[in-house]
Structure 1
């Protein structure tokens, strides 16, 4: 058992491609601003075109077969792998650099490092490799909006905006070596592994939970992110030197606030529609 765990740890945190990773516009796929803007534009435009095409030319739902289940299973496995990889990589980084923290004047602790990167941090090494994998996985995650359009012929603008913001945020994490991204990836990948595992469970016909499992997980994630954002802001002003990428963090905070507003508005409309349907 110990040898099995050591093999996983070696593969997910000690592989040369992981240890030697460096975010580079010349070498990392999808790492340019032009690619980001083009991808988000094509994503939103493609979903809108698909939606209106189905409204005009097809009245019935398109049978998707096992596609939703396969997508959910893939996202669950990818999210679980990202969680394990960044957890092991974070532990390895703390192990390898603890002596530097002890000698620093600010006496940085591992928990403070998780929330607040020192100024001058570069997007290279283990944790940024998994941040890059997480960024790429957002494109696969965004395909769920297309599955929703094909299945229900309904275009949820909240999902399009939310997925686009997630792609943009994860890009900014890498581009500006933004603080707080380690905890955010840990929390998000863990929640997504549970959410997509549950969606796969129900997609293959097994019994669903007696409470809104997905919504509760999303609310829990939003609350945890809010607490962590307060921690980043506190450390930035209390810790000497501040936190790296604080400008990108402020911009991402605005994006997260927009997601929270859209999330509350989206589910409020769904509750009103459900209540109106019950009355009729």
Structure 2
């Protein structure tokens, strides 16, 4: 790398972010608790700056107070990032060969989708080789509103009405089409129907000319961890696709991925029983 290129790299660095990440990196199993004076000494950062960074990281949940002497330890936000990353790796490692096989069997683009709060996130994709799919603008990392998508309805299949009210507290559900639920109660009704059926289909319910079939993937606790979905680049799902067993193929792929995530039906039964369902 030339000096000019190195200088270009430095131009795009964000000092505050870099310092915050360096602070987080100082915590370890051997030193789980650290204070501002020690961090200031190690990193060569003024103590007042370290205090501001620590308070910012604490407000975001990445650090928490360890005692009354202004010492800190890693917070739950760090753990959440780690677990979500590992979970997505497990899903993609186990799931990609399965959705590729589903794509080859059906000729349709297939995806694995997870829920992150009020959004759904596409974490794996097997692109169809057919030319008609070039217009489908969904890639790994794409986020869509959970309440407005079939994927989201399936992913919310474990949530109660109270859970949904808490999730959308103080918010208005944006309508994207005439089929989009406009209230939490409407959303719950849609979620409940899909949960009882064990899969969901939609025809142009979020984006015109796009139809999908989605089925839930469950983890070792019995909770829904993801969905497997196929995309049909048409406004309606052809009868021939249904008759070819498309729904059963999607559900079987989701079940196979569930088994690879150590799902056992008994775990789902225990989870549903704990919810009083």
State the structure with bigger RCO (CA 8 A, min sep 6), 1 or 2: 1
When normalised by structure 1's length, the TM-score is 0.23
Q: Which has the higher strand share?
A: 2
Structure with bigger helix share is 1
Larger Rg: 2
TM-score (norm 2): 0.23
